[in-house]
Amino acid sequence: MATAPPEALFWGLTWANLIAFAGVTASLVLGSINYFANRNTRRNALALDNFSHRARGPVEKLLQELDTIMDEADDIDRSTKALAEKIDATKALKTTFHKTRRKLARLLNDCDKSILILGTDWSRLDEGFMDNVTDALEQAARSDDPHLLHGHLLHAAQAIDRLRSRATEHLDAYAKLLMR
């Protein structure tokens, strides 16, 4: 039986070891890449969940309350009730709006102060819009003409709609940022 020269055996074993080492190294590198990719995915998912729970959900709930206020303004405007009754309903709507406005302002300020939600521009989302709604409802509550009442209620609803659009865009942009 022929035996391989010791030098051939050495090189054969060396090549086998090198191939095995390269396979193990490649496996470790790929495993590390997967680990870090999964870690980033988990971190992003946790950040997105935190954002949804602490900011997006509560803001969207308040935006739905603003939807209701817009609907009520439309109902007052379309009502066949006397002007005095519409004015009383508008005053009640103004009170409801201010409650929602205060809750939204507090929530947006909390987002600005949170260390878990990035950015300090949350409280500026309502810049001007809420004031426009307040002014329009104030003027509507003092209207002595149905056409003026209609115009003021329409202006209030339009300002709420612009705020809703801006807030939704901001929420979507932040969520997109977290998914990177």
pLDDT tier at 65, thresholds 50, 70, 90: very high
Q: Which of 7-21, 118-132, 142-156 has the lowest mean pLDDT?
A: 7-21
pLDDT in tens, 90-134: 999 999 999 999 999 999 998 888 877 777 688 888 888 999 999
pLDDT in tens, 129-144: 999 999 999 999 999 9
Pick the residue with more confidence: 3 or 59? 59
Q: What is the pLDDT of residue 51?
A: 80
Q: Is 1 exposed, middle or buried (0-12, 13-18, 19+ CB in 10 A)?
A: exposed
Q: Where are the beta strands (DSSP E) in 38-170?
A: none
Give me the sign of the Cα torsion angle 75, 81, 84, 88: negative
Residues 171 and 167: their CA atoms lie apart, in Å, by 6
pLDDT > 70 in the chain, percent: 78
CA distances in angstroms from 62 to 5, 68, 71, 91, listed in the order given: 84, 10, 14, 20
Tens digits of residue pLDDT in 24-54: 676 666 666 655 556 667 777 777 787 888 8
pLDDT at 48: 76
pLDDT attached to residue 114: 82
Q: By C-alpha distance, which of 10, 52, 84 is closest to 174? A: 52
**In the predicted structure, residue 146 carries a pLDDT above the cut 70:** yes
Coil vs helix vs strand at 3: coil
Band of pLDDT at residue 79, cut at 50, 70 and 90:
very high
Q: Can you tell me the mean pLDDT for 58-77?
A: 95
Question: Could you tell me the pLDDT band of residue 55, with boundaries at 50, 70 and 90?
Answer: confident
Structure confidence at residue 178 (pLDDT): 80
List the domains of the chain with CATH numbers.
56-178 (1.20.120)
If you average pLDDT over residues 79-89, what whole number do you get? 95
Round the CA-based radius of gyration of the chain to a whole number and report it.
Answer: 31
Residue 107 in contact with residue 59, Cβ under 8 Å? yes
Residue 71 has pLDDT above 90, yes or no: yes
CA distances from 136 to 38, 80, 159 (A): 51, 21, 9
